[in-house]
Amino acid sequence: MKYKGLFFAICIISLWGISLAYLLNYPIDFYNPLVYVFMLLQMQLYTGVFITAHDAIHGVVAPHNKKLNYAIGFLCATLFAYNNYEKLSKKHHLHHKNVVSDEDPDYYDGNFFRWYLKFALEYVTFWQILLMAITYNLLKLVFPMENLIVFWEVPAILSTLQLFYFGTYLPHRGEHEANDIYKSRSQKLNHFMAFISCYFFGYHHEHHAYPYLPWWKLAEAKEKEELKVLKN
């Protein structure tokens, strides 16, 4: 399907936008389990927005149209807390080129919390914080503060933790085999858990081996790698 990347991008962005618009007016009752279900759903959609920006960096959202691919990547990066798409692209390519080294902007030889802090400081800027604060205060004039916090701010923060834990920390922490040029490990073969955890980016060795594959093709790549292991 020639436009499959574009189709998934439109679906994710649309679902994120529609659900957020609905939830910002949703009556919040903290004894209602649906509140937490919707918050986690919004987190998952936020992660999908970032994954779409990531795939645009690799040129696979709209490979048939570079300008459209860039526009979608720029939009998704902006929707994800006003991230700078150019900065994300530059640093992500450095990550692939210098994985698990001093030149890798995503790597830190330390514990989870220090690594996460370093990871956040690598990308978050004063202007992002300012723009988020302005947006929050403008939205507060229209929507309830509780809704903004529960369905907009908290899912965004949880999404950064999700992306970091499954897409950076678990794959790259600790020692790697000497012959592993990608210095990346993958979670066990389980497509349901791989999708729920981080849109198949738990299959991280496959992503580094085949960075030109969009997120939905990583499952197939993982299956092929497993078959190679079984044959050997």
Please give the pLDDT value at position 232: 62
What are the boundaries of each domain within the chain? 4-176
Largest CA distance in the chain: 62
Please give the pLDDT value at position 191: 96
**What tokens does 66 get?**
């570079």
Q: If you average pLDDT over residues 165-186, what whole number do you get?
A: 93
Tens-digit pLDDT profile for residues 56-102: 999 999 999 999 999 999 999 999 999 999 999 999 999 999 999 99
DSSP 150: I
Please give the pLDDT value at position 1: 62
pTM recorded for the entire structure = 0.94
pLDDT exceeds 80 at position 123: yes
Confidence class for position 179, pLDDT limits 50, 70, 90:
confident
- Burial degree of 170 (CB within 10 A; 0-12, 13-18, 19+): buried
